[in-house]
Amino acid sequence: MPRHAQQRVSTRPRRSAWAVVIGGIGEILLTAGVLVLLFVVYVIWGTGIQTAQAQDALEDELGQQWGQLDPGTPPPDPDELADGDAYGVLRIPRFGDDWEFTVVQGVLADDLARGPGHYPGTANPGEVGNVGIAAHRSGHLSPFADFPDLRVGDTIELEMADGTYVYQLDSAPDGDSDGNKIDINDVWVVDPVPGEPSDTEPTERRITLTTCWPRFGSSHRMYATGTLVSGPTG
């Protein structure tokens, strides 16, 4: 072996056990960081692609349902829809002029992965009672990402087979990131008369929107609620 090569081998400093441990921890943290980044990418973009495809299918489904109605034919009964079926079209001007989602019947994980969902058992648009709508704030196109921006006086539009129902919010986060925050188990907000016993007879036509709090978590919920101001039966 050449002398200069032998010298390089013999003079190389050895890594201490502590340096080896630190290096191993660094590699683990780097790997964990990459995995977290990949997970975030999937939550934000991967699930969004799936939901976009589901929304296209739901839009076609709704078009077929409504396109088959003859003049004077009563619209389909939303209560007869199965979980996951196309329900109606939701528009919230506060979120942008082009913000529009097809709503599905049901609020289970598989339902909300397709778009905003209508709480089964709550009222349908135009009925006396409380229409309950839930949606994600992160992932699956994040329909309610800007939920804290909702303000009292904002309008919520729900298009059904017989026309569009417009609700005006009378309770909203009003720009507060913690506004209208409730416990995850507080389901009273979608009761027929929010804040009253569930068997209280409703007299108003209301709507309640719910979503997760914080945005990238689900330890609590946020809500906004309002009353019907116009519609085919409003």
Give the residue numbers annotated as catalytic, written as ranges. Answer: 136, 212
Residue 209, token pair as written in the block: 């929107």
CA distances from 77 to 17, 51, 129, 173, 199 (A): 72, 25, 16, 32, 23
At 150, is the secondary structure helix, strand, or coil? coil
Q: Do 221 and 210 form a contact (C-beta atoms < 8 A)?
A: yes
Cβ atoms < 10 Å from Cβ of 52 = 12
Residue 118, token pair as written in the block: 């209508």
- Buried (b) or exposed (e) across 144-156, using 16+ Cβ within 10 A? bbbbbbbeeebeb
